[in-house]
Structure 1
Amino acid sequence: MWKDIMENNVEPTPYIHIRRNVYLMKKKRDDTVDDSGCKNCKTGGTCDEDCVCRGQSISCSKACSCSDSCTNRPFRREKKVKIVKTRLCGWGVKAAESIKKGDFVIEYIGEVINDALCEQRLWDMKHRGDQNFYMCEIRKDFTIDATFKGNASRFLNHSCNPNCKLEKWQVDGETRVGVFAAQAIEAGEQLTYDYRFVHFGHYIRCHCGASNCQGYLGSKRKSDKEKPSWGRKCKRTLAVLESSQQGHTFVHSCTTKRVRS
């Protein structure tokens, strides 16, 4: 149960805990991925950095020559985490065990929605006065919204000097997003990533405490001038962000957050 990872038995705003993405649109598969498994890896091996699949952020599958115990299947086992109440940033997530650099931590999951529903939900949030956004836009008509359904990943806070990053992977033909450690993380450390926030309302002050803190989410300015009003017309997909190895692109915006893997 998700409540088992709560600290001090204090609970955040209710949401439905899920283990995999829930599609509110037609699920699309990249069937070409299923037939393009790694062939250069040793049969029964675990795949190293030269693995074709690993280099393209593709989880090894039955099409690969490696064994079922291959280490290039990151979404199979998540790290232990705790949801905690922070002093300035609302709810957050801490590591409940030591995590090595590059390790898969947790999958970012929620309801997968198209652009039209994303836009409608944003305006609904505006009218309700919501301050928390949980949307991750992967590509056109593919946004993961963890507002109503999700897991502990929805509570990860922003930092201008994060210890985690988001990466887009192909797993058995399905696009999935994982949180990976950008550096070694000790048990008890709060897990963060850079939202690269795109405004859909007033600027939000950043409380990450990093020495390179920009002051406001999505802004390099330290001042509080020219706060945009709700409904300001802006391009929703504002940035194309390359993944770490083969130039795959995705965005983390919609409302809102953008991240580089």
Structure 2
Amino acid sequence: MLPWHVENEVDDEPRPADFSYLDRVRAEPGAEEVGCECGATCGPACPCAAQHPWGHLYGADGCLVPLQLGIDIDVLLQECGPGCSCRGTCAPPPAHQESPVHIRRIPRKGWGVIADCNIPCGAFVCEYVGERVTTAEAWRRLRDYDAAGRAHALLVFREILPSQTAALRINIDATRQGNVAAFINHRHGGQRVPAAPPSPCSCDGGNLILLAVLPRGCMVPSLRLFARRSIEAGEELTYSYGTPAGGHPSRVQAPCLCGTPACRGFLPRDPA
């Protein structure tokens, strides 16, 4: 049973039946580091906030500060979490509350996600939830999906670590189990994930951005979607899946239908 309203006035495609809802990616046991000891309220001197030049991640309205300031984000974000004395409760409640949305059938694209209300720039929309799998398992599943000609929502996320000597890779498969993020289309610059048959996406970046956020005390970051700009109620939510495989259409199986002037013709696909 999906916890979102689903509407289809386009065709006879039934509601997604082989998809199970997950409320979160299950946290892995253990912790690599201890967080702050600020107490119930974290002030400007909080060591977690000191990880970023702009201080705390969230403003009083719960929106992501760097996005509101127009700052390009190319680093792993850190926030207070279970390793802190505040247990991560110092952030304003909206910082972790999903934005209200519903799923709608969209002509030529398939399922997409629509904003139910105005969403301000920097607001948290949802986490990308699914099964966290190893790279070997991700490739095995990708081969199976390709062989079956099945659209999938297997997300591969890479991030260069602050040391600049290693990279973090996270594979989350939301094809069968996940949340509403699995239905968000691409806009290279918003829908499901690389190498699927025609799916809702976009090559101009979309109105959302996917960022890795590491709560102190957790071993693996969560992948979260935030509003890149102000979004109006009724607007389709989209984000960039990445760049099509090296610019070689032969490596990409699915055409992109984002319809933007920046469209590159094909959906992104992880090449390695």
- When normalised by structure 2's length, the TM-score is 0.67
- Give the alignment partner of residue 255 of structure 2, picking from 197, 205, 220: 205
Deviations, residues 88-137 of structure 1 (Å, cap 9, x unaligned): 1111101111100111101101000001111111111121111x221122
Which SS does the other structure have where 1:123 is aligned?
helix
Unaligned 5+ segments in structure 2 are: 59-65, 67-75, 159-167, 187-201
Match of 1:144 among 172, 196, 204: 172
Alignment of 1:103 onto 2:104: no
- CA distance in structure 2 between the aligned counterparts of 1:65 and 1:17, rounded to whole angstroms: 29
For 1:217, give the aligned amino acid. L
CA contact (8 A) 2:112 2:236 kept: yes
Residue 44 of structure 2: aligned partner: 41
Tell whether 2:217 aligns with 1:217: no
Structure 2 CA distance for aligned equivalents of residues 124 and 111 of structure 1: 16
Give the direction of change, closer, same or farther, for the CA distance of 1:40–1:4 in structure 2 (3 Å limit): closer
Distance 1:68 1:3 in 2: 25
Matched, 1:135 2:154: yes
What displacement does 1:211 show? 2.2
Structure 1 residue runs of 5 or longer lacking an equivalent are: 220-233, 237-261
Identity within the alignment, %: 28
AA aligned to 1:35 is: G
- How far apart are 1:202 and its partner, in Å? 4.1
Instruction: Report the counterpart of residue 191 of structure 1 in structure 2.
Output: 237
Partner of 2:63: none
Q: Which amino acid aligns with 1:31?
A: E
Structure 2 match to 1:160: 203
Question: How many residue pairs are counted as aligned between the two chains?
Answer: 214
Instruction: Name the residue aligned to 1:59.
Output: 79
What code does the residue aligned with 2:260 have? A
Deviates more, 1:192-201 or 1:147-156: 192-201
Distance 1:2 1:13, change over 3 A: closer
- Aligned to 2:226, what secondary structure does the other structure show? strand
Partner amino acid, structure 2, of 1:135? L
Are 1:68 and 2:84 matched, yes or no?
Answer: no
Give the counterpart letter for 1:2 in structure 2. L
Relative distance call for 1:188 and 1:235 in structure 2 (3 A) is: closer
Aligned to 2:73: none
Counterpart residue identity of residue 119, structure 1: W
Q: Structure 1, residues 193-214: CA drift from partner, whole Å, max 9, x if none?
A: 0111554954422211212222
Q: How many angstroms apart in 1 are the aligned matches of 2:77 and 2:252?
A: 35
Normalised TM-score (structure 1): 0.69
Distance 1:19 1:100 in 2: 23
Distance 2:147 2:236 in 1: 31
Q: Distance in 2 between matches of 1:65 and 1:37?
A: 7
CA 1:126–1:61: 2 relative to 1, 3 Å:
closer
Helix, strand or coil at the partner of 1:58: strand
How far 1:78 sits from its partner (Å)?
0.4
Cα–Cα, structure 1 residues 136 and 28, in superposed 2: closer, same or farther, change >3 Å?
farther
Letter in 1 for 2:212: K
**Amino acid in the other structure paired with 2:32:** D
1:111–1:184 Cα change, 3 Å: same
Partner of 1:118: 138
Is residue 164–residue 193 contact of structure 1 (8 Å, CA) maintained in 2?
yes
Cα-Cα RMSD: 3.5
State how far apart, in whole Å, the 1-side matches of 2:271 and 2:45 are. 46
Supply the distance in 2 between the matched residues of 1:113 and 1:192 (Cα, whole angstroms): 24
The equivalent residue for 2:2 is 2
